C-alpha cells in the first residue's frame, strides 16, 4: 500500500487533498545560485604527474522558498530517489521527483548526485566567453545550511533548518549557503598541459535541472583566472582588484579578498604584483579608532625593478593623501583620521609590468571587543561526516564597532599549534551570533570550539565549555544529538512528527505516519 501511494504521489505531483486549497496559491520556489566569491579561493597543485586546479565553491538559495529534498525509494547500487517538496504561500506543499542521492564513500554519507560541475573556458578578447578547454567531473554534494548568505531575504530562518548529511532530508533554507572548500574531495579540474593564458573559471549548479527553481537561467557563474607555466608572472591572489567598485563587491575579510575588512592589529600581504602595464590595485580596510602617527599603510618593493606609488582614499573614493618617493617603500600615516572604512590604491610611477610588492596596514587601535561562546553548552555525540554542530556566541564592542568572528576547533581548549581553522567561518560578522561547523573539516574525535573576535584592531578569544564528539556511528533515537536518549528526544521527535517534517520520516518512504512513530518508539525503548 505504501509503494502504491508513493508512486501515485510522484505521478500526480500533488496530493488530491491539496488541490482545492492550493489552486489559487503560488509556489515558494528556491533560486539556487553559485556565489562567485568562493571561486576566488583556489590554487594549483601537482600530484601523480598531473596538474590540478583546486577550487572552493558555494551554492546559495536566493529564492522565495526553501530547497527541501528527501530520500525516496532505494536501489541496490547505493542510490536513492530524491523527492523535492515545494511549499506554497498558504502553507501547503506538493512534491516531485528530482534526481538521485548517491552514497559518497570519501565522505561516508549520502550526497545529491551531480549537484555542480566545474569548467575552464577560453577567455576571448573583450572578455568574451569561449569554448570549454577543461572540465571537472560532476560533483555530488551533501546540501546543508552552512553559511549565512543573505539574512535580509524574506523568509530567512536565523538558525537554518538543514544541518545533517543523511538520506532523510537535505536542502538549503532561504538566505543560506552550502560551501565546499578546495581541500575536499571532488573540488578539482585536471589542467595538465593546458597552455599559459587567461581563462574563465565556471561553476554551474544543478546542470541537469533536476531541481525546480524560480530562475533556471542563473545557475552558472564564472570568474576570470590566469594560468601560467612559470615563464610569466601571474596575477596575484587578490585579483581582480582594478577598481574600487570591484573591491567593494567582494566579501569583507574572505580569503584572498581585496576587501580586507578587519586588519588589526596589523596585516602584511606579500606576493603582490602589478601584472599588466597600466594596472592598478585597490584594497579596502576598516580602521576602528582615531588615527595617530603610529598608524599607517605602506608598500615595500624594489625601486630599481619598477617604482610604485601609494594613495589613500575615503570610502567614497575621495583622495586623502599620497606617497610618491623614489625609495624602496611608500608610507601614508593615518594621523587624525576618524574610525571608518578606507581604501588604498597602488600604481606604477612609470608604465612598467610585474613590479612585485607587499602591502601593510597598521590600523588605529580601539578598546578590545569581547566574546562568549554559549553553544555548545553540553557535550554532544554526533556522527562524523554526517552531523554538524552550531557554534553560538555573544560578541560585544565597547566602542560599538562592528565585529568579526572566526571559529577554531581543538581537542583541548587552547591554541597550541594543533587548532584547526574552520575555513567557512573566516571573519563571520559577529552580529550573526553563530556559525555551523561541518564535521567534514575535522578528523574523528572530541573537540572544543573557540570564537576569536576582532573589531579590526585587537582580538579576544572564548572557548566552549562543552565538546562535540564526532564518532563513526549515530543513534537514531538521540534526536537532539546530545549523547543521551531521554524525554527531550521524545519531545523533539513528537514535534517533527506532528508537523509532518522530513526529520520524522524514519523509514524514508516519503510519508510521515504511524510506521515512523513505531520505528522511533522501538529505538527509544531500546535506548538507541
Separation of alpha carbons 240 and 226, rounded Å: 11
pLDDT of amino acid 383: 78
Residue 471 confidence (pLDDT): 77
Shared domain for 141 and 164, answered yes or no, is: yes
Note whether residue 457 is domain-resident.
yes
What range defines the domain where residue 389 resides?
Answer: 370-471
Q: Residue 76: is its pLDDT beyond 70?
A: yes
SS3 content of the chain, % helix, strand, coil (to 5): 15, 40, 45
**For 357-408, how does the pLDDT look when each residue is reduced to its tens digit (9 = 90+)?**
999 999 999 999 999 999 999 988 887 877 889 999 999 999 999 999 999 9
Identify whether 340 is part of a domain.
yes
Q: Is 427 helix (H, G, I), strand (E, B) or coil?
A: coil
The count of residues in the chain is 528
Tell me which of 172, 200, 227 is where a domain ends.
227
Confidence at 13, pLDDT banded by 50, 70, 90: very low
Q: Looking at the structure, tell me whether residues 434 and 452 fall in a common domain.
A: yes
CB 448 within 8 A of CB 409: yes
Strand order across the beta sheet in which 259-262 lies: 259-262, 281-287, 340-348, 308-314, 319-323
Select from 132, 161, 131, 126 the least CA-distant residue to 145: 161
Looking at residue 485, its pLDDT comes to 78
Q: Which of 518, 489, 463, 461 is nearest to 381 (CA)?
A: 489
Q: What is the pLDDT of residue 475?
A: 65
Q: How many domains would you assign to the chain?
A: 4
Clarify whether residues 14 and 125 are in a common domain: yes
Confidence tier at 109 by pLDDT (50, 70, 90): low
**CATH number assigned to the domain comprising residue 446:** 2.60.40.10
Is 90 exceeded by the pLDDT of residue 3?
no
* Residue 483 CA, distance from chain mean position: 28
Residue of 98, 67, 114, 117 lying closest to 221 (CA atoms): 117
In a domain, 479, yes or no: no
Phi and psi based region of residue 253 (left: phi greater than 0; alpha: psi -120 to 50; beta: remaining): left
Residues 149 and 253 in one domain: no
Quote the pLDDT of residue 233. Answer: 59
List all residues 6 or more positions away from 120 whose beta carbon is below 8 Å from its beta carbon: 53, 132, 133, 134, 135, 189, 191, 194, 199, 200, 201, 202, 225
Is residue 424, in this structure, part of any structural domain at all? Answer: yes
User: Measured on CA atoms in the order 16, 21, 23, 25, is the torsion positive or negative?
Assistant: negative
Higher pLDDT, 6 or 306: 306
Omega of the bond leading into 376 within 30 degrees of 0 (cis): yes
Residues 429, 353 within the same domain: no
Whether pTM > 0.85 for this model: the answer is no
Confidence class for position 116, pLDDT limits 50, 70, 90: very high
Task: Kindly list the distances between the CA atom of residue 312 and the CA atoms of 199, 261, 298, 449, in Å, as whole numbers in the listed order.
Answer: 32, 16, 10, 38
Give the model confidence (pLDDT) of 459-494 as tens digits.
999 999 999 988 765 566 777 766 677 888 888 888
pLDDT at 47: 84
Alpha-carbon distances, residue 149 vs 67, 173, 220, 251, 525 (angstroms): 14, 10, 17, 10, 41
Q: How confident is the model at residue 77 (pLDDT cuts 50, 70, 90)?
A: confident
| Closest C-alpha to 90, from 154, 25, 155 | 25
**pLDDT score, position 79:** 84
Where a domain ends, among 227, 261, 286?
227
| Each residue's pLDDT tens digit, 265-278 | 999 999 998 877 78
- Check residues 414 and 528 and name the one with the higher pLDDT: 414
Per-residue pLDDT, 316: 93
pLDDT tier at 23, thresholds 50, 70, 90:
very low
262 in the same domain as 181:
no
497 three-state secondary structure: helix
Domain match, 316 and 382 both:
no
20 in a domain, yes or no? yes
- Kindly provide the residue ranges of all beta strands, DSSP E only, lying in 125-167, ordered along the sequence: 128-135, 139-141, 147-148
> What pLDDT score was predicted for residue 384?
80
Structural contact between residues 136 and 117, judged by C-beta atoms closer than 8 angstroms:
yes
d(CA 41, CA 379) in angstroms, rounded, equals 33
pLDDT, tens digit, 9 for 90 and up, residues 155-187: 999 888 888 776 568 899 999 999 988 887 788
**260-299 residues labelled b (16+ CB within 10 A) or e (exposed):** bbbbbeebebeebbbbeeebebbbbbbbbbebeeebbbbb
Tens of pLDDT, residues 312-328: 999 999 999 999 999 99
N- to C-terminal Cα distance for the chain? 29
Same domain, 45 and 181: yes
Please indicate, yes or no, whether residues 301 and 163 belong to a single structural domain of this protein: no
Residue 126: CA atoms inside 13 Å, Cβ hemisphere, count?
Answer: 0
Cα–Cα separations (whole angstroms), residue 381 to 389, 421, 481, 489? 10, 21, 6, 14
pLDDT digits (tens, 9 = 90+) for 194-231: 998 889 999 999 999 999 999 999 999 999 888 876 54
Whether 7 maps to a domain, the answer reads: yes
Averaging pLDDT over each range in 134-143, 313-322, 345-354, 493-502, which range is the top one? 313-322
Q: Are residues 204 and 59 in the same domain?
A: yes
pLDDT at 349 over 60: yes
Q: Are strands 308-314 and 370-375 parallel, antiparallel or unpaired?
A: unpaired
Using a pLDDT cut of 90, give the percent of the chain over it: 56
Considering the chain, what is the average pLDDT of its residues?
86
pLDDT digits (tens, 9 = 90+) for 407-422: 999 999 999 999 999 9
Q: Is-contact 479 383, C-beta < 8 A?
A: no
- Segment 109-131 shows an average pLDDT of 90
How far is residue 427's CA from residue 65's CA, in Å, rounded to a whole number?
Answer: 27
Would residue 234 count as lying in a domain?
Answer: no
Pair (39, 78) in one structural domain? yes
Helices 514-526, 487-499: inter-axial angle, 10-degree rounding: 170
CA distances from 497 to 315, 409, 442, 480, 517 (A): 52, 34, 32, 14, 8
Residue 236 CB-half CA count within 13 A: 24
Burial class (CB in 10 A: 0-12, 13-18, 19+), 349: middle
Is the residue at 137 inside a domain?
yes
Torsion of CA 50, 53, 54, 60, to 10 degrees: -140
Q: 319: domain CATH number? A: 2.60.120.380
475 or 146, which is more confident: 146
Rounded Cα distance between 209 and 207, Å, is 6
Q: What is the DSSP letter of 98?
A: E
Task: Give yes or no for residue 11 having a pLDDT over 60.
Answer: no
Same domain, 356 and 374: no
**Residue that terminates a domain, selected from 201, 227, 253:** 227
Which residue, 355, 334, 354, is CA-closest to 344?
334
Amino acid at each position: 500500500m505504501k509503494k502504491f501511494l508513493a508512486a501515485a504521489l510522484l505521478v500526480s505531483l500533488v496530493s488530491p487533498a491539496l488541490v482545492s486549497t492550493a489552486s489559487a496559491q503560488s509556489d515558494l520556489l528556491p533560486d539556487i545560485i553559485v556565489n562567485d566569491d568562493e571561486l576566488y579561493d583556489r590554487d594549483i597543485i601537482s600530484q601523480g604527474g598531473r596538474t590540478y586546479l583546486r577550487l572552493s565553491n558555494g551554492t546559495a538559495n536566493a529564492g522565495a522558498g526553501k530547497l527541501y529534498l528527501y530520500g525516496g525509494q532505494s536501489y541496490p547500487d547505493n542510490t536513492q530517489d530524491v523527492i523535492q517538496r515545494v511549499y506554497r504561500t498558504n502553507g501547503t506543499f506538493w512534491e516531485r521527483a528530482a534526481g538521485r542521492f548517491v552514497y559518497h564513500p570519501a565522505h561516508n554519507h549520502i550526497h545529491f548526485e551531480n549537484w555542480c560541475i566545474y569548467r575552464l573556458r577560453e577567455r576571448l578578447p573583450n572578455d568574451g566567453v569561449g569554448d570549454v578547454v577543461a572540465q571537472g567531473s560532476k560533483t555530488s554534494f551533501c546540501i546543508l545550511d552552512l553559511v549565512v548568505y543573505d539574512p535580509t531575504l524574506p523568509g530567512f530562518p536565523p538558525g537554518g533548518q538543514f544541518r545533517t548529511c543523511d538520506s532523510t532530508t537535505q536542502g538549503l533554507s532561504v538566505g543560506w549557503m552550502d560551501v565546499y572548500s578546495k581541500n575536499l574531495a571532488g573540488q578539482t579540474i585536471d589542467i595538465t598541459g593546458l597552455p599559459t593564458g587567461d581563462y574563465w573559471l565556471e561553476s554551474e549548479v544543478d546542470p541537469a535541472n533536476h531541481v525546480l527553481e524560480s530562475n533556471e537561467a542563473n545557475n552558472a557563474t564564472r570568474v576570470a583566472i590566469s594560468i601560467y607555466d612559470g615563464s610569466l608572472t601571474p596575477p596575484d591572489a587578490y585579483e581582480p582588484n582594478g577598481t574600487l567598485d570591484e573591491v567593494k563587491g567582494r566579501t569583507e575579510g574572505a580569503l584572498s579578498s581585496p576587501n580586507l575588512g578587519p586588519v588589526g592589529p596589523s596585516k602584511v600581504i606579500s606576493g603582490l604584483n602589478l601584472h599588466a602595464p597600466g594596472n592598478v590595485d585597490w584594497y579596502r580596510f576598516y580602521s576602528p579608532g582615531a588615527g595617530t602617527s603610529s598608524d599607517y599603510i605602506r608598500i615595500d618593493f624594489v625601486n630599481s625593478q619598477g617604482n610604485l606609488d601609494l594613495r589613500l582614499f575615503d570610502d567614497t573614493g575621495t583622495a586623502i593623501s599620497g606617497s610618491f618617493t623614489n625609495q624602496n617603500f611608500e608610507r601614508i600615516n593615518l594621523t587624525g583620521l576618524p574610525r571608518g572604512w578606507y581604501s588604498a590604491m597602488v600604481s606604477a610611477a612609470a608604465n612598467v609590468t610585474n613590479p612585485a610588492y607587499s602591502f601593510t596596514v597598521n590600523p588605529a587601535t580601539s578598546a578590545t571587543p569581547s566574546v562568549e561562546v554559549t553553544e555548545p553548552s553540553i557535550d554532544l555525540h554526533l556522527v562524523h561526516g554526517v552531523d554538524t554542530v552550531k557554534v553560538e556566541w555573544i560578541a560585544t564592542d565597547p566602542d560599538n564597532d562592528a565585529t568579526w568572528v572566526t571559529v577554531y576547533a581543538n581537542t583541548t581548549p587552547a591554541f597550541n599549534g594543533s587548532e584547526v581553522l574552520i575555513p567557512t567561518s573566516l571573519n563571520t560578522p559577529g552580529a550573526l551570533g553563530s556559525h555551523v561547523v561541518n564535521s567534514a573539516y575535522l578528523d574523528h574525535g572530541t573537540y572544543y570550539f573557540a570564537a576569536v573576535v576582532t573589531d579590526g584592531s585587537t582580538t579576544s578569544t572564548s572557548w566552549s565549555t562543552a565538546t562535540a564528539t564526532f564518532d563513526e556511528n549515530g543513534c537514531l533515537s538521540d534526536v537532539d544529538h546530545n549523547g543521551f536518549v531521554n524525554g527531550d528526544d521524545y519531545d523533539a521527535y513528537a514535534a517533527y512528527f506532528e508537523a509532518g517534517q522530513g526529520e520524522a520520516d524514519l523509514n524514508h518512504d516519503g510519508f510521515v505516519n504511524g510506521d515512523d512513530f513505531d520505528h522511533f518508539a522501538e529505538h527509544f525503548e531500546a535506548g538507541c
